[in-house]
């Protein structure tokens, strides 16, 4: 895959009922965090730490502008529920991240200037990492 920007990305995420909703117009930014635990296996015979890769994890953070229209961001996130939510983030110039996550938080903020925004965190939840293509 060639170098690219994130301009005109598409964000699709399932609502609590499992229906995929494209909310790209409401999302102002997102961050995909992937990590892998490091297991310390250092013996007493070592001068430096030895580590092996352990379990992986990821989280997805999204921020956006409040949109209470049916089937858009508020409808997707306000009914938190316990359902796992499949998501897809596609970059216009190529590249897609797919996964399934649980909704940890949905926070709505009304700023001093009057802007109504939200921030969402979703976490790895089904034992499978993000699939990049």
Q: Is 66 helix (H, G, I), strand (E, B) or coil?
A: coil
Instruction: Give yes or no for residue 93 having a pLDDT over 80.
Output: no
Count H helices and E strands in the chain, helices first.
1, 8
**22 within domain boundaries:** yes
pLDDT of residue 80: 81
Distance between CA atoms of 77 and 82, rounded to whole angstroms?
11
**67 within domain boundaries:** yes
Instruction: Give yes or no for residue 2 having a pLDDT over 80.
Output: no
Query: Total domain count for the chain?
Result: 1
CATH code, domain carrying 20: 4.10.410
pTM of the model: 0.86
pLDDT of residue 98: 93
Residue 10 pLDDT level (bands cut at 50, 70, 90): very high
Comparing 32-41, 78-87, 103-112, the range with the smallest average pLDDT is 78-87
pLDDT of residue 101: 95
pLDDT of residue 4: 78
| Token digits of residue 117 | 């925004």
**96 within domain boundaries:** yes
pLDDT per residue as tens digits for the range 15-69 = 888 999 999 999 999 999 999 999 999 999 999 999 999 999 999 999 999 999 9
CB crowding 37-68: b at 16 or more within 10 Å, else e: eeeeeeeeeeeeeeeeeeeeebebebbbeebe
pLDDT of residue 27: 96
Distance between CA atoms of 121 and 116, rounded to whole angstroms?
17
Residue 70 belongs to what domain range? 10-132
């Amino acid at each position: 895959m060639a170098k690219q920007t994130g301009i005109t990305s598409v964000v699709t995420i399932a609502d609590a009922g499992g229906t995929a909703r494209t909310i790209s117009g409401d999302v102002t930014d997102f961050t995909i965090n992937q990590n892998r635990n490091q297991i310390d296996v250092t013996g007493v015979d070592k001068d430096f730490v030895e580590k092996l890769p352990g379990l992986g994890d990821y989280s997805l953070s999204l921020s956006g502008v409040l949109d209470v229209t049916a089937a858009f961001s508020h409808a997707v996130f306000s009914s938190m529920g316990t359902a796992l939510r499949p998501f897809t983030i596609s970059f216009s110039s190529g590249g897609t991240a797919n996964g399934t996550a649980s909704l940890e938080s949905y926070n709505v903020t009304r700023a001093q200037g009057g802007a109504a925004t939200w921030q969402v965190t979703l976490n790895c939840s089904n034992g499978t990492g993000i699939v990049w293509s």
